[in-house]
Amino acid sequence: MQHYFRLPLSLAGAAALALASAPIQPVAAQEDGNAADLGVMEINLKDAVQFNWGFQGALQGAGTPNQAGIGAFLPIAFGENSVWFIDALANANFADRDGESSIVNTDVAGTTISTSTRLGYRWLNGDRSWIYGINAGYDSRPMNTGDADTSVNVFDKRDVFFSQVAAGLEAVSDTWNFNAYALVPIGDVEHRLNSHYEVGALDT
């Protein structure tokens, strides 16, 4: 008997959300002065937007394994009120807890490296109270598989590979944060994991 389930590539979701918290932050004029009075218009983006990197980790959850990784935000070109940037993340994905699958029915096994990369452009409005942005990129997730977390004894265990393209839009002020993104699997979007179970990637 075969079972079928869908697997989100949630690494990209995390990366898309991380774009909203990267270094550029607008400063809106307060009641006691406009942007020019506060000196916001004189801020040089090259000084305000810097290369930034950090570590991150997460425990196993729905659709995601135990993982640890490193990410970086790299500005690559500046205009007077704009910046082009690269936002990249690489994760080491570790095995599921024995008998507790993060993808349903089949345990993730072994260690693999997944990636998420975005090329983006952000710009400020005239009084620098809003940031607008657009980004696009690519995500990859190889996955080693192990035993089933059911009573089924599986054989012919396979390692599989998923990838997707992504695109996003954002608008951020000091009080509002709007984000929209799309994740579209490419290549082989459905794989057999073993003698009993299959997996597929989600459009998001």
Q: Which positions ≥6 away from 154 have C-beta within 8 Å?
A: 106, 147, 148, 194, 195, 196, 197
Task: Report the distance separating Cα 106 and Cα 157, nearest Å.
Answer: 10
For the chain, the average pLDDT equals: 83
Question: 50 has which bridge partners?
Answer: none
Which helix (H) or strand (E) is 116 found in, with range? strand 112-124
Beta 160-172 vs 177-186: how paired, if at all? antiparallel
Residues near 201 by beta carbon (within 8 Å), at least 6 away in sequence: 6, 7, 8, 9, 162, 164, 185, 189, 190
To which residue do tokens 């998420």 refer? 116
Whole-structure pTM over 0.85, yes or no?
no
CA angle 161, 11, 24 (to 5 degrees): 140
Is residue 191 a contact partner of residue 160, using CB atoms and an 8 Å limit?
yes
Give residue 102's region: left, alpha or beta (phi > 0; psi -120 to 50): alpha
Determine the length of the chain: 204
The segments of the chain whose pLDDT lies below 50 read 1-32, 35-38
Residue 119, strand partner residues: 86, 136
What does the pLDDT read at residue 202? 87
Q: Is 61 helix (H, G, I), strand (E, B) or coil?
A: strand
